[in-house]
Amino acid sequence: MNELELKYGCNPNQKPSKIFMEDGKDLPVTVLNGRPGYINFLDAFNSWQLVSELKAATGLPSAASFKHVSPAGAAVATELSDTLKKIYFVDDLELSPIASAYAKARGADRMSSYGDWVALSDTCDKETALLLKREVSDGIIAPDYTEEALEILKSKRKGTYNVVKVDTSYTPAAIEHKQVFGITFEQGRNDLRIDADMLKNIVTDNKELTEAAKRDLIIALITLKYTQSNSVCYAKDGQAIGVGAGQQSRIHCTRLAGNKADIWYLRQNPKVLSLPFRDDIRRPDRDNTIDVYISDDYEDVLADGVWEQFFTVKPEPLTREEKKEWLKTFSGVSLGSDAFFPFGDNIERAKRSGVQYIAQPGGSIRDDNVIDTCNKYNMTMAFTGIRLFHH
C-alpha cells in the first residue's frame, strides 16, 4: 500500500489529508491498530529516526516520548536506581531493557509526556506494553511486537490505541521535499552521523570527558537533531532530562531546559519522595501535584480545603532555601546545543543545573567569552562544528 487516507490534517478543518509515496512504492509502515492522524505520523517518523540513531550510536535499546513533533524525552536502556523507579512510577513493575528505556524517556518530563507518541528501537515486549497500558498515550511505533504485547496494546483506549510497525529496511530518499504556502522546498536529507568522534575538539582547559559523559552528549545531540529549533538538551544517566524546544533565543532554550532538569532532580528530594498521597490519586494528578509542590507558590495553591483532595496529611513545604541547597548537589550533567552559544550567560545558567560537559557547534564571534566562562567553572566543552537545526 503506497497511500493512507487520514481523518484530517493538523486541524479538523484541514481536509483532505493523507500520507503517500510519490514513487509508487509501498509505505514503510503498517498500521496494526487504531487510526493514526497527521500529527501522529509526524511524531512517529521523527521519533523513529531518533531512536534508531540512538541505538546505532550507543548499541543500547532506545526509546523516545514525543509531543508536537519534538521529544519530551529520550533515553537508552540502563539500570534504573530505586529512586528513579519511584519517581517514574514503575517501582511496582518488572522492566525489560526496552521498557526501562521508555520508563526513562517518559519519566524525565512526565507532564510533557502526557498523551505522547512512543518510539522504540527494539521489539515491543509484554513489559513495555504493560507499562504503556496504564499511561495516557496516543500511539507507538516500533520494528515489531510480541503477540502478548500487541494484544495488550490493542485493548488500550477501548481498542483504538494507535499501533504502527515500521519496516527497518526502509531507506528514505537522499533528497526531501515539503510545501509551504503552495511552494515546494527541497533539501538534502540530514543523514549526519553523530558519534563520539564529534566530541574530539575540546576547546576548554579541562579536557576530561568520561565515557558516561560521551554517551550523554551523544544522546543530547541526537535528541536535538529531531527537536524543533532553537533547542538545548540536558542529559544525565543515559537520558535527556530537560529539553528546551522551539525558542527564539538561545538563553530561553537554556533556561527552559534547565528548569525541566531542575524539576527532574527536585523530584528526587526526600521530601518529594515521601509525599503522603492518597491511594486514590491517579498518576497524572500526582505529577501535577508534585509540580505544584516543587513550585514557589505551593502554600497558595494547596491551601486548606484543597490539599485534602491529594494528601492524607498536609506535607511540610519544600522551602526555597531547601531547594537551593538540594540543587547545589546536582552535578555531572551533559548539555548539547543545536547551534552556537552567543553569550556566556548560557553557561552561567547551565552551571546552576549541574552541567559539567558541553557540546555545541562553536563559531560565534564571542566564542572566547563562552570558553572563558566554561573555564571559570572547570567545565569541559567540545566544539562539534555541526549545526543541528530542525524545522
Concatenating the DSSP letter of every residue in 44-77 gives: HHHHHHHHHHHHHHHSS-EEEEEETTEEEEEEE-
Q: Does a cis peptide bond (omega within 30 degrees of 0) precede residue 230?
A: yes
Return the pLDDT at 241.
Answer: 98
* Residues 54-102 pLDDT 10s: 999 999 999 999 999 999 999 999 999 999 999 999 999 999 999 999 9
The catalytically annotated residue of 33, 55, 67, 323 is: 67
pLDDT at 304 over 80: no
CATH assignment of 193-266+327-383?
A: 3.40.140.20
Q: pLDDT value at position 54?
A: 98
Class for domain 3-171, per CATH? Answer: alpha beta
Percent of the chain surpassing pLDDT 70? 100
Active site residue 67: yes
Rounded to an integer, the average pLDDT of 267-296 is 92
Q: Determine the pLDDT at residue 300.
A: 77
- 184's grid cell: 515546494
Q: What is the tens place of the pLDDT at every residue in 311-350?
A: 999 899 899 999 999 999 999 999 999 999 999 999 999 9
pLDDT category of residue 308 using cuts at 50, 70 and 90:
confident
Residue 126 in this model has a pLDDT that exceeds 90: yes
Please give the pLDDT value at position 25: 87
Residue 171 confidence (pLDDT) above 80: yes
Would 3-171 and 193-266+327-383 be classified into the same CATH topology?
A: yes
376 in active site:
no
Told to judge if 55 belongs to the known catalytic residues of this protein, a careful annotator would answer no
Choice among 25, 158, 207, 391 that is catalytic? 391
Active site residue 68: yes
* pLDDT tens digits, 271-285: 999 999 999 999 889
Domains of the chain, by residue range, sit at 3-171, 193-266+327-383, 274-315
The per-residue pLDDT for 1 is 79
Give residue 178's pLDDT band: very low, low, confident or very high (50, 70, 90): very high
The answer to whether the CB of 73 falls within 8 A of the CB of 104 is yes
pTM given for the model: 0.96
Mean pLDDT, rounded, for 182-200: 95
Return all residues near 317 (Cβ < 8 A) that are at least 6 apart.
293, 298, 299
Nearest to 98 by CA among 136, 61, 50, 152: 61
Position 23 scores a pLDDT of 83
- Judge whether residue 135 has pLDDT over 90: yes
Amino acid 128: pLDDT: 98
Torsion sign over Cα 139, 144, 149, 155? positive
- Quote the mean pLDDT of the chain: 95
Which of 116, 121, 115 lies closest to 100 in space, CA to CA? 121
pLDDT at 24: 82
Average pLDDT over every residue of 362-384? 97
Selecting among 40, 230, 269, 346, the annotated active-site residue is 230
